[in-house]
Structures are given as structure tokens and as C-alpha cells.
Amino acid sequence: MTSQDIHGDDSLVIAGTRYRSRLLTGTGKFKDLDETRRATEAAAAEIVTVAIRRTNIGQDPGEPNLLDVLPPDRYTILPNTAGCYTAEEAVRTLRLARELLDGRKLVKLEVLGDQKTLYPDVVQTLKAAELLVADGFDVMVYTSDDPILAKQLEEIGCVAVMPLAAPIGSGLGIQNKWSLLEIVDNAKVPIIVDAGVGTASDAAVAMELGCDGVLMNTAIAGAREPVLMAHAMKLAVEAGRAAFRAGRIPRKRYASASSPVDGLLG
């Protein structure tokens, strides 16, 4: 393998657009907009998600605007429906986002079931996904780690499926790697782990399983040093992806010597 093979094109393709970075970041929970900017740069993220109901991207002209530090000509701004509990609320929120973002149609759908777990309401999620796809949106969809549901969302026409690793903000890391593996094995669209990552090794494991990317917010914004953690996450996603492409050795129960045993002297 040449250095060209190592560094060659391994783009993430979502709805026909190529991205070099497989780390997608959230924009909430940072100390201020400058910290959001510095962490996003350290993560080398190209897609940044924005909670439309909680973040000013122009709805409130008198307030600081996130787009001043994360300009849409440099980043793909991915509006999300955090805080929506019904399909109708989610669809309304994303139609507003489309107006605010000059008709851009790539969105992240999340319809939550309750405030304690922030698990997705899968019935409402399916309903909203159908409505949004019919309305011409490119829908990336936050969902549970259920392989059947993930396939249904793909079949509806979602452009990426985003199963959780663990509850949003929990930092628990991947709770069910077998479900994620099943989702990845069956998928024809990118699978991006969304939510529950706690530290760099969680992101690396997600990528080693074959996921196409990782979206995170709390693990970076809530770290003691958010910019340094963003850098660590960039390295972890890249390392996990390279390890997946390289192919891990099989696990064996017993030892096998690292040095050859043939032709030993004496």
C-alpha cells in the first residue's frame, strides 16, 4: 500500500455531496460562540448541526448569530429538531429552517419520546420522515439502535440513518455493538452514530465497527478542555476508520508467537 492509498479519497458521501471529515459536531452546550468556533475547527468538522428551536441563525436579528462564527459558505449547516416531540412540530421546525437557510434541504430529524431518556419516538419519527421526504428534504434521521427500524427509515428515502450509541448527553459510549453491526451490515446509506459518545475510544470503536461517521456534542462541549477533546475526537474517528479499512486480526483464544519459530538456532 502506498502513501497515496493511505491518504487517497475515502470521502463520506451524503445525498451526493462528498465530505472529507467523518466527524459531525453539535453546536450546543459550549461556553460561548468563540469556543464553539475553536472546537469546531479543532474537530475539522464540515457538517455542524444546529438546534433550530434553541439557536439563533437569524430568527432573532438582535442576538448573536451562530452563522457569524460558523459561516454557511465554509460549513454545511445541518438544522435539527431537538426539542420536538411530535412529527408535526418537527416538520414545521424544518420548514422554518429551510427558509432561514436559503432553501437548503439537508436536515437532521429527531422526534423525542420523553424528557428523561430523550429516546426517539420511533412512530413519530417514521411519520415525520415520510412527510419530509415527500416534501423534498434530504433527511438524516436520529433513531434507536433497532436494525428493523433503521432499514425502514432507509426504505422511506432517508439519506443517512443515525442510531444512538447511548442516550443523548449520557457519555455512556456504545451500549449495543451487535445492533450497530447489524444496522451497518444491512445499510445502503451512511450509518452515523449519533449521541452517547463519552470519549475518544467510543468514537474509534464506532468507526471500527464500520459506521460511516460519528455525530457528537456533549463529549466535546462538556469536556474540561473542549478544544483539546475536539482534536482527540478527530484523531479517534480517523484512526477508527483506518483500522476498519485495514481489517483487524481475528481474536484467538491462545497465544501465537510474534517472532517466527522456524529455523531457530540450536
Ligand X SMILES: CC(=O)[C@@H](O)[C@H](O)COP(=O)(O)O
Task: Decide if residue 142 touches ligand X (CB under 6 A).
Answer: yes
CA distances from 104 to 27, 36, 107, 261 (A): 19, 22, 8, 62
Decide if 100 contacts 57 (C-beta within 8 A): yes
**Is 143 annotated as belonging to a binding site?**
no
- Position 196 contacts ligand X (CB under 6 A): yes
Contact status: 125 vs ligand X (CB under 6 A): no
Using CB under 6 A as the binding rule, whether residue 79 contacts ligand X is answered as no
Q: Is 83 annotated as a binding residue?
A: no
Q: In this structure, what is the dihedral angle of CA atoms 214, 83, 42, 248, given to the nearest 10 degrees?
A: -10
Which lies closer to ligand X via its Cβ, residue 124 or residue 217?
217
* 62 labelled ligand-binding: no
**All cell numbers assigned to 222:** 462538556
CB nearer ligand X, residue 142 or residue 244: 142
* Residue 196 assigned ligand-binding role: yes
Edge-first strand order for the sheet with 192-194 is 160-163, 138-143, 106-109, 76-80, 47-51, 23-26, 213-216, 192-194
The helix/strand/coil state of 208 is helix
How many residues touch ligand X under the rule CB under 6 A: the total is: 16
**Stretch near ligand X under the rule CB under 6 A, chosen from 1-9, 92-100, 191-199, 244-252:** 191-199
Here the cell at position 173 is 459510549
Q: According to the binding rule CB under 6 A, does residue 217 interact with ligand X?
A: yes
Region near ligand X per CB under 6 A, out of 4-12, 151-159, 214-222, 231-239: 214-222
Residue span binding ligand X (CB under 6 A) among the ranges 3-11, 15-23, 182-190, 217-225 = 217-225
d(CA 134, CA 218): 32
Q: For residue 56, which amino acid is it?
A: N
Task: Given the residues 108, 127, 177, 188, select the one marked as catalytic.
Answer: 108
Inter-axis angle of helices 122-134 and 87-100, nearest 10? 40
For residue 216, state whether it binds ligand X (rule: CB under 6 A): yes
x/- map, 146-185, ligand X, by CB under 6 A:
----------------------xx----------------
Match 477533546 to its residue by C-alpha cell. Answer: 229
CA distance 15 to 132: 14
- For the bound state, the minimum distance from the C-beta of residue 253 to ligand X, rounded and expressed in Å, comes to 35
Please check if 263 is assigned to a binding site: no
Spell out the residues 6+ positions from residue 51 whose beta carbon is closer than 8 angstroms to its own: 26, 27, 28, 80, 81, 82, 83
CB of 236 to ligand X, least distance (A): 14
Active site (annotated) includes residue 108 = yes
User: Binding pattern to ligand X, positions 24-63, x when CB under 6 A?
Assistant: --x----------------------x--------------
Q: Which positions lie near ligand X, rule CB under 6 A?
A: 26, 49, 80, 82, 110, 142, 168-169, 194-197, 216-219
